[in-house]
């Protein structure tokens, strides 16, 4: 009588032990997946935080009327923004390259591209208060009406890029959650 109950006890104990080990193995795999997702979220959050620094430098207008009232492109001078863009852009690009392909990565890269495009056009619209004598030696003295129109509309182009960058940044934040 002792032998069958001992055999039954050993069988039950070994089944419970095997069952427990399989749960432990499965939980470790789930933890590893959670850790990987968390690390991707941390990388994305860091990239978004960097892009928010750029977003704080610029002024995002919600409408044309709002822009017409303000007519200011940023809270900082162009040189400051350009320096911030250079510093933030390199790190944000590196962080985005570590993210898996998907909407979050696309939105981060699109936001960065919009900030770069805005800076490109802002540089063309920026008129320094100091004129260097060497700049006065231009050989082309003709200014066409289309060139004047183009130059007059550059601030609108910059404002549109800031707005697009902000939209991509907001979408990235939604995908992060």
Write phi, then psi, for 74 (nearest 5 degrees). Answer: -155, 165
Strand partners, 58: 74
Contact, 153 vs 125, CB < 8 A?
no
In a domain, 36, yes or no: yes
Alpha helix ranges (H) inside the chain: 2-57, 64-70, 78-97, 103-125, 145-152, 154-176
Ramachandran assignment for 74, one of left (phi > 0), alpha (psi -120 to 50 degrees), beta (any other): beta
Domain count for the chain, please give it: 1
In a domain, 134, yes or no: no
In a domain, 5, yes or no: no
Q: What is the 3-state secondary structure (H, E, C) of 119-142?
A: HHHHHHHCCCCCCCHHHHHCCCCC
Taking the C-alpha atoms of residue 47 and residue 99, their distance in angstroms, rounded to an integer, is: 10
The angle subtended at Cα 85 by Cα 83 and Cα 91, nearest 5°, is 110
pLDDT for position 115: 94
* pTM listed for this prediction: 0.68
* DSSP one-letter code for 100: P
Per-residue pLDDT tens for 49-73?
A: 999 999 999 988 888 888 888 778 8
In a domain, 122, yes or no: yes
pLDDT for position 48: 93
pLDDT for position 8: 45
* DSSP one-letter code for 1: -
In a domain, 34, yes or no: yes
For 113, the domain range is 25-128+142-176
In a domain, 133, yes or no: no
- For the chain, list residues with pLDDT below 70: 1-37, 127-142
In a domain, 59, yes or no: yes
In a domain, 12, yes or no: no
């Amino acid at each position: 009588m002792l032998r069958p109950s001992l055999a039954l006890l050993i069988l039950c104990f070994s089944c419970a032990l095997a069952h427990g080990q399989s749960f432990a193995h499965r939980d470790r795999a789930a933890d590893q997946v959670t850790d990987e997702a968390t690390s991707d979220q941390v990388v994305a959050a860091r990239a978004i935080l960097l892009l928010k620094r750029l977003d704080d430098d610029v002024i995002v207008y919600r409408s044309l009327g709002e822009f017409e009232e303000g007519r200011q492109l940023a809270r900082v001078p162009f040189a400051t923004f350009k320096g911030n863009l250079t510093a933030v852009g390199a790190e944000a690009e590196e962080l985005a390259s570590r993210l898996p392909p998907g909407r979050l990565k696309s939105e981060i890269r699109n936001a960065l591209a919009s900030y770069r495009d805005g800076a490109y056009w802002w540089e063309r619209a920026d008129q320094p208060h100091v004129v260097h004598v060497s700049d006065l030696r231009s050989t082309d003295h003709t200014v066409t009406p289309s060139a004047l129109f183009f130059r007059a509309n550059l601030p609108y182009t910059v404002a549109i890029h800031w707005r697009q960058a902000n939209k991509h940044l907001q979408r990235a934040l939604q995908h992060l959650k």
